[in-house]
Amino acid sequence: MRVIVHLSKFYDWVPVPADVTVTTSDIQAERVKPASGGGWLMKVTKEATTHTQINLGEHQVIAKIIHEKTRPEGGRTFTRRQAVAFYLAENVMPHHAHRLWFTDIKVHDDGPDLALFRSMMGVHLVSEAGRVKQCIDAGKHMKPLNEKSGPVTRCLTCGCLGGPYATEPNIDPKELDAHVAAYSEKVDTKTFEDSLRAHFKVKPVAEVKGAGK
Amino acid sequence: MRTASVKKTVAQAARMASRSKTEPQRYSHWLTKVTAGKTSKERGLKSRTAWRHNLTTTTAVGYTNAYDWLAKAMGQGPSFAFATAGGTATSAGLTSLTNTGAAFPTAGQGLAGSIVVAQAAGALVYGIIVSNTPTVLTVDQWYQVTSSSGASGSTPSGTGTYAILPGQGPASWMAVTANTFAPSTADTTLAGELTTNGFGRAVGTYSHTAAASTYSLVHLWTATGTETINNEAQFGACAPSAGGVMPFESAEPTPPSLISGDTLQNTVTVTI
């Protein structure tokens, strides 16, 4: 999926002047980042009519659905539209622009990939302990690389480090059907764009304070 | 009494600079955030780092050197036109394409980094060339041209046509490792790169604002097992076994530990 977010302002990075002191709180607040030669770059706002292009792989749309479901304060069953909106809001756009500067959003969407969805969800429907048991049952668990190599500290097959293992799956298998239904929701481009505009409360360009200055 | 400072000449400064390490003018930063899963005792953001300067692989030999990759990506690339840049394959495999009548350039870095497009049954596929002989191209994998996730496609026809394109494949794959080490400008691989517990190499989400001086890659991994992340890197190929350019590498200042259900968000910004 390709998303274009039209903007009236954007963030950029410029060198911190020599007479400015960079504090720990500046660093922790991500207002600055180190430049070459021991200098610093600071986040600045630039006014211009521009756009951010986001090439959002379908695997990351699905990753956001899984992320939302696995976090304790989340737990919602996202549709694709919701996953895209929250991915843009939390993981991409904070590096490019404040949402108040959005003037429009355009989407090129090729639709859901159900095979990829089932494949990515599948590993989260089995607990870590269950996965280790499968590895033990297959006779592959913690086997050395060959006869000459010593004992391993990480299973070469399942990647486990020797426990303790989580006994609950990240996502309850009973919820898979609801996830598939939500993910498979079919929407046309206009509906997709309208829902993103509504999510970000996008105002037409004339209404954005400072737009066009 | 003020002493007048003696200024160096350009020739003197150039001689001094020739003996010192070149400071990268193109560089990148890494940002790591971990959000807690349901089984964590924590809630919300479990750990986060400030922006940190990545190490740029400026002394790595050959194709994996960041400078070489940047030059080829922004300039013409290794595949400057030559007679057998387009032709007909005589055989093809899972990661190779052969034209026994070809004369692929091998001097220097050969065609490493170029993209070859080939004909498979019912569809076109492409691969990133990681090495070549005069008659055989080795690619990281054959990609579906329609996949936004870097999914593998069919093996090309052993008698189909192919074209090697100018330019260089992008370095948008992101990878992590639990191994502890200090990154080096000569590194060509990420030692002990993770492939299990949900942390396989993956294509980052690219974003760029027109006229801004950086572009970003971001990726979310949700753990299916226990891991501690100590180092990260960017790659131009799909798998640890495939090689490929590794322009940037980064060590975690405070390595985050994740358990099943925790989510790791890695963000890379590259200053152009």
What is the distance in angstroms between the Cα of A195 and the nearest Cα belonging to chain B? 21
Cα–Cα nearest to B270, from B112, B129, B66: B66
What is the percent of chain B where pLDDT is above 90?
64
Mean pLDDT of B21-27: 59
Confidence of residue B5 (pLDDT cuts 50, 70, 90): low
Q: Does A9 touch chain B (CB under 8 A)?
A: no
Residues 14-53 of A with CB under 8 A from B: 27-28, 30, 32-37, 41, 46, 48, 50-53
Closest residue of A to B196, CA-based? Answer: A159
Mean pLDDT of B211-238: 95
User: Using the beta-carbon criterion (under 8 Å), do A110 and B269 form an inter-chain contact?
Assistant: no
Q: A24-58: per-residue pLDDT in tens?
A: 999 999 999 988 777 888 999 999 999 999 999 99
Residues 197-256 of B with CB under 8 A from A: 197-198, 202-203, 205-214, 216, 218-222, 224-227
Residues 140-199 of A with CB under 8 A from B: 158-161, 165-166, 168, 170
What is this structure's pTM? 0.90
Q: Is the preceding omega at residue A72 within 30 degrees of 0, hence cis? A: no
The full DSSP string for A46-64 is EEEEEEEEEE--HHHHHHH
| Separation between Cα atoms, residue A56 and residue A54, nearest integer Å | 6
Q: Does B29 touch chain A (CB under 8 A)?
A: yes
Confidence of residue B134 (pLDDT cuts 50, 70, 90): very high
What is the distance in angstroms between the Cα of B144 and the nearest Cα belonging to chain A? 13
Burial class (CB in 10 A: 0-12, 13-18, 19+), B198: buried
User: Which pLDDT belongs to residue B16?
Assistant: 74
Mean pLDDT value across chain A: 91
B216 compared with B72, residue with greater pLDDT: B216
Mutate which: A23, A26, A91, A107, vs B, most B CBs within 10 A: A91
**Neighbouring residues of A183: CB distance < 8 A, sequence distance ≥ 6:** A62, A65, A78, A79, A80, A112, A114, A117
Q: B75-114: per-residue pLDDT in tens?
A: 876 667 888 999 999 999 999 999 999 999 999 889 999 9
The full DSSP string for B149-209 is S--B-PPPPTT-EEEEESS-----EEEEE-------TT--S-TTB--STT---EEPEEEEE
User: Using the beta-carbon criterion (under 8 Å), do B212 and A57 form an inter-chain contact?
Assistant: no
Residue found by looking up tokens 């050969």 in the block: B110
What is the distance in angstroms between the Cα of A60 and the nearest Cα belonging to chain B? 7
**What is the mean pLDDT, run by run of 10 residues, along chain A of 213 residues?**
97 90 92 85 94 97 96 89 97 96 96 96 95 92 80 87 90 96 95 97 69 48
Q: How far is CA A24 from CA A31, B27, B51, B120, B250, in A?
A: 10, 22, 12, 55, 21
| Residue pair B204/B175 in contact by the 8 Å Cβ criterion | no
Cα dihedral: A110, A111, A114, A120 (round 10)? 80
Closest residue of A to B267, CA-based? Answer: A91
Strand partners, B207: A54, B216
Q: A102-126: per-residue pLDDT in tens?
A: 999 999 999 999 999 999 999 999 9
Residue B130 has phi, psi (to 5 degrees) of -105, -20
What is the distance in angstroms between the Cα of A41 and the nearest Cα belonging to chain B? 10
Sign (positive or negative) of CA dihedral A85, A89, A90, A96: positive
Closest residue of B to A56, CA-based? Answer: B205
Cα–Cα nearest to B51, from A130, A43, A120, A86: A43
Q: How far is CA A47 from CA A97, A98, A144, B140, in A?
A: 11, 12, 59, 42
What is the distance in angstroms between the Cα of B84 and the nearest Cα belonging to chain A? 33
Mean pLDDT of B238-264: 91
Confidence of residue B201 (pLDDT cuts 50, 70, 90): very high
